[in-house]
Structure formats: C-alpha cells, structure tokens
Amino acid sequence: MTMSAFELLHRAGWTQFRRVDVDETVSRLQASGYAVVPPYRELIAQLLGLVVLSEDGKNSLEFDMDGIAARTDAELCEAYGEDIGRAVTPVGFYSDMVLWVDEVGEFWGSFDLQYGRIGQNIQEVIQWLLVDPASMHMFDRRLPD
C-alpha cells in the first residue's frame, strides 16, 4: 500500500502544531530582495528544516533556505510574479525545481525559465512529486477561475 502525502509529511516530522521561529529566514529573504507573501510566514513556520522523502526514500522535497538560495534568485522571483500576476516567495526545492508559494497560498514550481502552478496546497504538491509522479503534468501558468 502506498503512503499518502499526509503520511509522508508526518514521517518527515510535520504536525499541525509544528512551529519554528522564522524571523531570521524572513529577514534574510527580504535582505536578498525577495518579496515575502502573506501565507509564507505561517507555511514556512510549519515546514522549515523538513525533508519529505518519497516512500522508497529516493526523492525528496526539502524546505531549506540555503538550498533554495543556491537554485534561484530574487530577480527570477520578481519576474515569475509579474508574469503570473501574483507575488511569489520560494519555500523549498525538489531536485533542481524550486517550489514557490504565491500571495493566495497556491504553489508553483520552476526550473529556471520553465515554471507553472503545481498545486493548491502542500499535500497536492507532495502527491504530485513524491506519491504519484506518473501523474505529473506540464506546468500550468493559468490562474484558476
């Protein structure tokens, strides 16, 4: 039986009550020129430092700001936000893909100039990346109605 996205999150150490101090992370992002969207602080307080592994342990979704800094920059962040019409903030990464959250709390993924919406919440993202990667779809840049 395959583990669910929720089970993978729990296995990584997430609980609904998990909160870490994110003031330093937010300050570092802002000092580097990133927009920090409203849902970011609550989301990253729950996820910062977690590594969510696929059931077989071969793939991971990591919530590590140093890893994000090595994969993107504030200029790309701003360009993505302008193109989609919503500000975005980086929250994690999967291999070479950076995971972003937008100002309404939806998730986007990017590989340099390829990017698009990948989920409405973190469980959808984990489902798509770690539980059922065969269901992966091309990035969608259209905003939902």
pLDDT band at residue 127 under the 50/70/90 scheme: very high
pLDDT at residue 36 in the model: 93
Q: How many domains does the chain have?
A: 1
Q: How far apart are CA 72 and CA 65, in angstroms?
A: 11
Whether 53 is in a domain gets the answer: yes
Whether 113 is in a domain gets the answer: yes
Q: How far apart are CA 126 and CA 49, in angstroms?
A: 16
Whether 83 is in a domain gets the answer: yes
Q: pLDDT over 70 for what percent of the chain? A: 92
Q: pLDDT over 90 for what percent of the chain? A: 62
pLDDT at residue 19 in the model: 95
pLDDT at residue 145 in the model: 52
Whether 140 is in a domain gets the answer: no
Query: 3-state DSSP call for residue 100?
Result: strand
pLDDT at residue 43 in the model: 93
Look up the CATH number of the domain holding residue 25: 3.40.1580
Average pLDDT over residues 23-39: 92
Nearest to 34 by CA among 83, 84, 72, 85: 72
pTM: 0.88
> Cα–Cα distances in Å, from 145 out to 113, 116, 123, 129, 142?
24, 16, 21, 24, 9
Q: Which two tokens mark 51?
A: 């590594």
pLDDT in tens, 48-101: 999 999 999 999 999 988 888 788 889 988 998 998 899 999 999 998 889 999
Whether 88 is in a domain gets the answer: yes
Measured at the alpha carbon of residue 43, what is the angle toward residues 134 and 145, in degrees to the nearest 5? Answer: 60
Average pLDDT over residues 34-53: 94
Q: Which two tokens mark 127?
A: 């489902």
Whether 118 is in a domain gets the answer: yes
What is the extent of the structural domain holding 69?
A: 5-135
Whether 145 is in a domain gets the answer: no
Contact 86, 104 (CB under 8 A): yes
pLDDT at residue 92 in the model: 94
Whether 141 is in a domain gets the answer: no
Return the beta strands (E) in the chain as ranges. Answer: 51-53, 60-62, 88-94, 97-102, 107-111, 114-119
pLDDT at residue 133 in the model: 80
The residues facing 107 across adjacent strands are: 101, 119
